[in-house]
Amino acid sequence: MELILERQLEHQQKAVDAITSALDGITMIKPHFAYENPLFDREEQCLIHNLEEVQKNIRTDYCGCRDEGNYLNLDIKMETGTGKTYVYTQTIYEMHKKFGFNKFIIAVPSLPIKEGTAQFIGDSYVKHHFSDTCGYNCDIELGVLESPKKKKKGFLAMPPAVCDYVTGSCQNSNKIYVLLVNMQLLTNSNILTRSDYDYLVEGFYRPFNALKATKPIVIIDEPHRFARDQRAYKAIVEELCPQLIIRYGATFPDTTVGKGRNKATFKDFNNLVYELNACDSFNHNLIKGVAKEHFEPLSQKEEKVKLLSVESKTSATFQFKRRGEDTKTYILTSGDSLSIIDAAFEGITISAIGKNFIELTNGQIKYKSEEFNTDIYSSSYQEQMLKLAIERHFKTERQNFSGRQFKIKTLALFFIDDISSYRDSDDEKKPYLKEMFERLLLEKINDLISKLTNNEQEYRDYLEASKADIAACHAGYFAQDNSDSDEAIASEVADILHNKKELISLRREDGSFNTRRFLFSKWTLKEGWDNPNVFTIAKLRSSGSENSKLQEVGRGLRLPVDENGNRISNEEFKLNYIVDFTEADFAQKLVDEINGELPEKLTISEERLKEVAEQRKIDYNTLFFELGAKGYINMNKEIIPDKRDAFYADYPEFASGVSSNKVTDVNKNKKGEIHVRKAVYTELKTLWENINHKYYLFFDRDLTNAIPQLLHDILRKNDIFGNVTLYSHRDEVVNDGKAMMIRKNSGVSYSIKRPIPYNEFLKRISQQTSIPILEIHAAMCELAKEKENGIPEEFINEYSVANIVSAFSDWRIEQLQTRFKYSRSNQPVTETALTYKNGTPREIIKQGNVGTMFVEGTPSDKYLYDKIAFDSPLEKDNIMTDISEVVVYGKIPRSSIAIPTIVGENYSPDFMYVVKKTDGTKELNIVVETKLVKNNATLRDTEKVKIKCAEKFFNQLTLDGYKVSFHTQLENKKVKQIIQEVIAE
C-alpha cells in the first residue's frame, strides 16, 4: 500500500499561510557564508504589522507577544490527529521557496516522536508528494542526530549528521537541510557541547557553535514538553541562538506571573498565529469522534483490587480503589484474609505466596499487577475489559471490511501494566494476559464466523486466517524491546514502529492476509506514534488521572485510510475508548477539557438548560424563569456580563472547562516507617500480651449432623447455578454546534461461560466451607439424579462455587451465633506485630500496618507511635483527642490480634487504651472497634457477628483472670464518651 497525502486541506493550509503571512514582505539580508540562512530584522515594522493582521482571527486572551530573547517566536496550535508533522514539513518547503531559508532544526521530546518524524520526512512517497505533487521541485536532506556509540580508541569524529547539516550549501536551491534532534541530546549528552573532536567543521570544533553559525530556524514539536524554564528550551535559545522558533502543538505549557492576589496562570502562547482547537476539530470532522465505554461491576459496587507487588514468599501489597474515594494500600501475608481490604472478600484468605503471584483459598491464582473485582465469583477485571474491547473491535472491523467498497484495516491498541503479563519470561510467572487475550480472541472469531452471511466470504477467509495463527494477530512494543536481541520481538517492534504502511495493509506482498491488528504497549506508544486506523483503545492500566484526556485518546483520533491509501474524510468515525469504572467520568472530563479551551460562553443553549434542569430534578421552564428572576440571563438566554461570576458560583453546572486536576491528594505517596515509643509500649505491655494469647474456637458437636440436609437445600435453590452476565456503559462525545457534550448510548451485555474442572469445583467449595469433598460430591450426585439432563457442564464454575459458599456462610452465621465458645491455649506469646520473640518492643513498623492515610503533626505523648496514620476520619479523631483519664493508648496494628470467629476469619480490633479512674485508684483496660457508620442497623451481618465474637472473646479473657472492656464506636459517638462510661461502671 502507498499512502496518499492530500494537499491543500483547508485546516492545514491555513496553518502554513499563517507563518508565511507573518513574514511576508520582510527584508531578507544575504548571508555572508554559504552555510548560513539569510537574516531578517525581527523589529522591522512590517513584521509587527503582519502579526497584528494575522492575530485578528485569534481569540483576544491568546493574542500578544512577549519579547524574551533575540529571536522571533511564532506558535501554531493544532489538535492531535490533524496533521502537525505534515504542516511543519510543508512550512519548511514554503519558507525555503518564499524566503530562501534552508537550514532548519526540528526538536522533539522523545525517541518515538523522533522515529515517527524521521520516518515521515524521509519516506519516498512524502518526498514525491512535496517535490512533484505540490511543485516545490526540491528535496529535504534529513540528518538525524543519534546518541554516540561507545568511543573507540583513536580518532574522534564530529557527528556525521552535524557535519552534513552545517556544510550543506544554502546556495543549492534544490536542497533543504534539516537536522532532527531529541530533547535528551540537547540536555543530557555532551555530544553537542564537547570541543575535543579531531575534525573541525567550517572552522568549528564544538557542534553547538557550528549549528549556531548557520543562523537556524528551530521547530519545536510538542511544546508542552519544552517549558521555558527547562534545560532543553534554554539550550535551544542560548546554544543554538535561532532567528526564529516555531512551536507546533496541541498542548502548550502553563506559565505563572505575579504573586499573591495578582498571581495569574495562563497558557504560554507567544505570537499564536493559528489555532485549531479540539472543538473545531471534532465539529469539522477532522478527527474521529470518541465513544468512552466502561465496564459495569457485577454488583454495582464501583471498586476493585490490584495486586501491586509481591515480596517473594513473604508478603503481598494490594491497592484498593473505590470510585469517589482515596486509593488505599494494604500489605498482607500468608493466612491473612482479603476481607481486611473489603468485606466482600469474607471467607477468602491467602493460602500461599510465590515469587510473582499469590494463591487464594478459593483456588484462584492472582499475578502481580493483576486487577480483579471485589465480587469473588467474577473473572478478573482485565478479562472483562479485554472481552469488551474485542467485542467493539470486531463490530467496527466487520463494518470496515464487509460494509464498504474499499476496505479499511482495523487496529486496536491495548495499554497494559505489567510487561511480563504479555511477554514470555524465564521466571515462574506465565504471561497470563496474553493467554487470556488469545483465548478470548479465538472464542470471538469462532462466534463471528458462525454468524457471517454468504456475501462476506472474503471476511470469512480473513477470520479463518486469523484463527489459523492467533499469535500472528497481535504484537507488543515496550521500552526494553529496543535492546532485546530476540528476532521475533524485533519483528513485532518493526511492524509497530516502522512499517506503518504494512500494518494497515490487509494483505502482504505475496497476497496472503496480514492479520496483525492488536497492539500491546505500556504507554510507550504516546506522542509521536500514530496510526490512522486505530479504532479501539483499551486502557487496561491507569496512566494517571491528571493527564490530558485529549493526549490519552490522541493515538486513535486520526481519520483512517482505506486499502488504497486514501484518507477518508467524508464519513463519521468513532474511536472506542475502553476504561475501567474508576474513570467512568472520562467522557465528561474530556468534554470539559475541550470546552475549557473555548472562549467564555455568553449564551446558554436550550439543550444545556434542559440538561441542568434534569440534573437538578426541576422543570425546564422553572429553571429558565429562576435564572431570569435572579438577573443571571435575559429572555434570549444570554448571560448578563456583570452577573457572570455570581451565576457560575450559584450554578456551577453551567461553567465549562473546569479542570479536575485542581484537586490533589496530599496523603498519596506518603507511606513510610513509624517509630514505636518504647516508654508508651511499656505501659501497654501487659494489655498487649494478654490480648495476644492464642485462643481456640469450639462449636457444638451436633451441628455436623445438619450438614447433609443443608447441602441438599442449598443445591436446590433456583439461583445457585448459572453464569455471570456482564454489561457496559457507553458515552459518545458529540458536538451540538457550539460546544461538546455527552450522548448516552447503549452498551453491550454478554455472559461469561467459564467452567472449571469438577474436582476443582469440589475442592474450592471444601476449602471455603470445611465440608469434606466426599460429602459435597454425594450431594451433587443426588442432585444430578433428580435432573433429567443432569447439571449443565458450564454451570460448574466459580459463580456457582461462590453462591454455594455464600449460602453456607449465611447458614453458619444464623446457626452458630450462640453455639460456640473460646478456650485459651497453653502456648506462650512470642513474636507479635509490636514485639520480637524475646518480648522486647520493635523500634519501627510500616505505616501501612496502622493506617493507609497520613497527616502531618505530632500525636499526644501518650500515643504509641510518633506519627499519625489512620484509615478513617473517626480513627484520626481518636488519635488526635487527648483525654485526661487516658494513661497510654495506641492503634492496634492491622490483623495482629487473631481472634477466631464463626465466619471462618480471624478478627482484630482497632484501638487499645489503658485508663485510670479519676481518683487514680484503679487501672482499666479498654479495646475499641471503630465503625464509620451511623448506627448498628447499617452494619453488615457478618460485621455484627464478628463483633459478637469479639465480645464473647473478651468476656472469656475476663473469666480467665484479665479484665478487658470491649466497645464498638460508631461515627456518632466520641471515644471520650466510651471511656467515661467504662470509668463510671
pLDDT tens digits along 222-273? 998 898 888 999 999 999 999 999 999 988 888 777 787 777 777 888 899 9
pLDDT interval class at 170 (50, 70, 90): confident
More confident position, 900 or 815: 900
pLDDT over 70 at 525, yes or no: no
Contact in structure between 948 and 903 (CB atoms under 8 Å): no
Q: Which of 940, 943, 972 is nearest to 874 (CA)?
A: 972
- Summarised one tens digit per residue, pLDDT across range 942-971 is 788 888 899 999 999 999 999 999 999 887
pLDDT interval class at 486 (50, 70, 90): low
SS (H, E, C) 325-351: CCCEEEEEECCCEHHHCCHHHCCCEEE
Q: What's the pLDDT score for residue 544?
A: 47
Q: What's the pLDDT score for residue 178?
A: 97
Bridge-based pairing state of the strands 39-40 and 853-855 = unpaired
In Å, the largest CA–CA distance within the chain is 106
Quick one: the chain helix, strand, coil %, rounded to 5? Answer: 40, 20, 40
Query: What is the Cα–Cα distance from 539 to 537, expressed in whole angstroms?
Result: 6
User: Which residue intervals of 667-757 are DSSP H helices?
Assistant: 678-691, 707-715
Q: What's the pLDDT score for residue 499?
A: 76
Contacts 24+ apart (CB under 8 A), 709-714: 710/808, 710/811, 711/771, 711/775, 711/776, 711/779, 712/779, 712/782, 714/804, 714/807, 714/808, 714/811
Query: How many C-beta neighbours within 10 Å does residue 505 have?
Result: 18
Q: What's the pLDDT score for residue 481?
A: 60
Q: What's the pLDDT score for residue 150?
A: 63
Side chain identity, residue 748:
V
pLDDT over 50 at 935, yes or no: yes
Query: How many C-beta neighbours within 10 Å does residue 69 have?
Result: 14
Average pLDDT over residues 626-649: 81
Query: What is the Cα–Cα distance from 493 to 221, expressed in whole angstroms?
Result: 24
Q: What's the pLDDT score for residue 662?
A: 22
Q: Which of 629, 642, 633, 631 is nearest to 603 (CA)?
A: 633
Contact in structure between 910 and 918 (CB atoms under 8 Å): no
pLDDT interval class at 399 (50, 70, 90): very high
Query: How many C-beta neighbours within 10 Å does residue 78 have?
Result: 23
According to the per-residue pLDDT averaged within each range, which of 86-90, 302-306, 363-367 is highest?
86-90
Query: What is the Cα–Cα distance from 931 to 908, expressed in whole angstroms?
Result: 13
Q: What's the pLDDT score for residue 830?
A: 82
Contact in structure between 844 and 326 (CB atoms under 8 Å): no
Q: What's the pLDDT score for residue 667?
A: 26
pLDDT over 60 at 660, yes or no: no
pLDDT interval class at 205 (50, 70, 90): confident
Read off the C-alpha cell for 357: 503471584
More confident position, 662 or 947: 947
SS (H, E, C) 390-446: HHHHHHHHHHHHHCCCCCCCCEEEEECCCHHHCCCCCCCCCCHHHHHHHHHHHHHHH
Q: What's the pLDDT score for residue 129?
A: 92
Q: What angle do CA 602, 607, 610 make, to 5 degrees?
A: 105
Helix axes 773-786, 707-715, angle to 10 degrees: 40
Arithmetic mean of pLDDT over the chain? 83
Q: What's the pLDDT score for residue 377?
A: 45
Q: What's the pLDDT score for residue 234?
A: 93
More confident position, 8 or 236: 236
pLDDT over 60 at 657, yes or no: no
Q: What's the pLDDT score for residue 479?
A: 63
Average pLDDT over residues 132-136: 89
Q: Which CATH code for domain 10-276?
A: 3.40.50.300
Query: What is the Cα–Cα distance from 199 to 910, expressed in whole angstroms?
Result: 73
C-alpha 677: how far from its chain's center? Answer: 39
Average pLDDT over residues 373-390: 72
Task: Give residues with Cβ within 8 angstroms of 378, minimum separation 6.
Answer: 297, 298, 372, 384, 724, 752, 798, 799
pLDDT over 50 at 658, yes or no: no
Contact in structure between 139 and 127 (CB atoms under 8 Å): yes
Q: What's the pLDDT score for residue 547?
A: 59
C-alpha 218: how far from its chain's center? Answer: 34
Read off the C-alpha cell for 51: 502579526
pLDDT over 90 at 175, yes or no: yes
Q: Which residues in the chain are classed under CATH 3.40.50.300?
A: 10-276
- What are the φ and ψ backbone dihedral angles of 308, each rounded to 5 degrees? -65, -50
Average pLDDT over residues 864-885: 89
Query: How many C-beta neighbours within 10 Å does residue 649 have?
Result: 9
Calculate what percentage of the chain has a pLDDT beyond 90. 32
pLDDT interval class at 774 (50, 70, 90): very high
Q: What's the pLDDT score for residue 550?
A: 72
Q: Which CATH code for domain 381-594?
A: 3.40.50
- Summarised one tens digit per residue, pLDDT across range 281-290 is 887 788 888 8
Average pLDDT over residues 830-856: 84
Read off the C-alpha cell for 749: 451485555
Report the half-sphere exposure of 391 (CA within 13 A, side-chain side): 18
- Summarised one tens digit per residue, pLDDT across range 874-884 is 898 899 988 98
- Summarised one tens digit per residue, pLDDT across range 68-127 is 678 999 999 998 888 899 999 999 999 999 999 999 999 999 887 888 899 899 988 899
According to the per-residue pLDDT averaged within each range, which of 99-103, 300-304, 665-669 is highest?
99-103
The full DSSP string for 575-607 is: EEEEE-GGGTTHHHHHHHHHHHTSPPP-B--HH
pLDDT over 90 at 680, yes or no: yes
Q: Which of 423, 539, 418, 416 is nearest to 481 (CA)?
A: 423
pLDDT interval class at 394 (50, 70, 90): very high
- Summarised one tens digit per residue, pLDDT across range 458-483 is 999 999 999 999 999 998 887 666 55
